[in-house]
Amino acid sequence: MNFDVVIIGGGLAGLTCGIALQEQGKRCVIINNGQAALDFASGSMDLLGRLPDGSAVSSLRPAFESLRRQAPQHPYSVLGIEAVESKATQFENILHQLNLELAGSARENHKRVTAIGGLRPAWLSPNTVPTVTNHQNFIHQRIAVLGIEGYHDFQPQLLIDNLQLNPQFAHCQFSSGFLNIPELDQLRRDAREFRSVNIAQLLEHKLSFDELAAEIKQAAGDAEAVFLPACFGLDDQSLFNGLKQATGLALYELPTLPPSLLGIRQHKQLSYRFEKLGGMMLNGDRALRAEFEGDKVACVYTRLHQEEPIAAENFVLAAGGFFSNGLSAEFERIREPVFDADIIETEQFRAQDRFSWTHKRFSSPQPYQAAGVIINAHCQVQKSGRFLPNLYAAGSVIGGYNAIELGCGAGVAVVTALIAAERIGGM
């Protein structure tokens, strides 16, 4: 099999890169091992939430020099502020074309409400998720928080108690309640099956829409806004938008425990766009090894194609980190298993020193989370001390930063994906 570009990984980075390349007329294949981290994400995307010293970031550009000084190996520091801002804006335009209904701007972070009543910085959030700016109060005053009877992943009173501690919600009057939704009775018999995705799947086929809208309206009482768990609408938010229109209320949905309905919707829409543009998905397959011709990658072999090479002019490594086996930890070292690319080392982390991988405090940022491959400003990957001309990396397989600590995982994914696509398309 021969393609223009082989992309290893079908998550946010791989799909973003694939869409951009297909739009340039490239013929791409994505080797997709299984569920992507996107399926477990909140639906909101972060660009940069804080600096390594713990300082909060409200806008990327004013914080960039501090980031570069504190984390010189961070992908943003390698790529430069102009490239990062340009690609973040390009990704916003891609989302607009896909009608993914995300709100936000790279110019300034907002804060999204979490399912337990916290506020987390975000770059982009679904427009159905309640958000506030850094210094403004929430736009509604009377809020009803409604759970679903028997659904334990969303606790209204816990959310209310925590949310009232935030000054942006101090003016709000809260009430709580639960929806019965008789169509869900069969799921209530087995708590293990009573999850957001299962609820959405069942309501997709057995929903009594008018009765549900009436129940929400009655349970809301005199509230003007209603917070609900994200359980309504598996493929997109059209069902939720319909409920909003039918009730005449300002409805909001909050992601609960993974898998996340909001992340799954985004994954489906991005996958659909890639395939509609002519891209090929090899789902349930995994890249095992690569062959080289000089300093170039010639082909890869996969679990389902161990004898048949998959060849291309260019390759993009977007396989993710440890979660999706893009990186593997052996007893004596951490490695990238397909190309055996060089692993970055930081002041706290050394790939071949097992004792440097973890911090003795469990709650502290763990050094191994900064593991990953080394890239240059074109997102080309380093192997044996040299940057390979036709191998690029995107997303969390890249090292030099802790995405959880800094709140920048989605931003790194899409920025590096679009830089790689631009470099490949311009060759």
Ordered structural domains, the chain, with CATH: 2-103+264-425 (3.50.50.60), 130-254 (3.40.50)
pLDDT at 195 over 90: no
Q: Which of 115-124, 136-145, 352-361 has the lowest mean pLDDT?
A: 352-361
Q: How far is 419 from 425, CA to CA, in rounded Å?
A: 10
Is the bond preceding 259 in cis, omega lying within 30 degrees of 0? yes
Q: Which of 69-83, 170-184, 349-363 has the lowest mean pLDDT?
A: 349-363
- Three-state DSSP class for residue 11: coil
pLDDT at 193 over 80: no
* Residue 347 confidence (pLDDT): 79
* Residue 40 confidence (pLDDT): 83
Q: Encode pLDDT of 240-255 as tens digits.
A: 999 999 999 999 999 9
Confidence band of 345 (pLDDT split at 50, 70, 90): confident
User: What's the mean pLDDT in 31-53?
Assistant: 90
pLDDT at 363 over 80: no
For the record, the structure tokens of 234 come out as: 């598996």
Q: Which of 206-220, 282-296, 411-425 has the lowest mean pLDDT?
A: 206-220
User: Which residues have a Cβ under 8 Å from the Cβ of 264 and sit 6 or more positions away?
Assistant: 38, 39, 197, 234
pLDDT at 116 over 70: yes
For the record, the structure tokens of 82 come out as: 């102009």
DSSP states along 382-415: EETTEEEEEEEE-GGGB-S--HHHHT-HHHHHHH
pLDDT at 352 over 70: yes
Mean pLDDT in the chain? 93
Q: Which of 88-102, 131-145, 195-209, 305-319 has the lowest mean pLDDT?
A: 195-209
Closest CA to 368 of 387, 389, 354: 354
* HEC per residue, 136-198: CCCCCCEEEEEEECCCCCCCHHHHHHHHCCCHHHCCCEEEEEEECCHHHHHHHCCHHHCCHHH
* Residue 427 confidence (pLDDT): 60
pLDDT at 425 over 70: yes
Q: Which of 216-225, 258-267, 281-290 has the lowest mean pLDDT?
A: 258-267
pLDDT at 388 over 90: yes
* Residue 91 confidence (pLDDT): 97
Confidence band of 190 (pLDDT split at 50, 70, 90): confident
Percent above pLDDT 70 for the chain: 99
Q: How far is 388 from 391, CA to CA, in rounded Å?
A: 6
Is 157 or 183 the better-scoring residue by pLDDT? 157
Q: Encode pLDDT of 59-103 as tens digits.
A: 999 999 999 999 999 999 999 999 999 999 999 999 988 888 999
* Residue 391 confidence (pLDDT): 98
pLDDT at 206 over 80: no
User: What's the mean pLDDT in 333-362?
Assistant: 88
pLDDT at 344 over 90: yes
pLDDT at 163 over 90: yes
pLDDT at 56 over 70: yes
Kindly state the DSSP code that residue 371 receives in the 8-state scheme.
-
* Residue 364 confidence (pLDDT): 78
Kindly state the DSSP code that residue 3 receives in the 8-state scheme.
E
Q: Encode pLDDT of 393-420 as tens digits.
A: 999 999 999 999 999 999 999 999 999 9
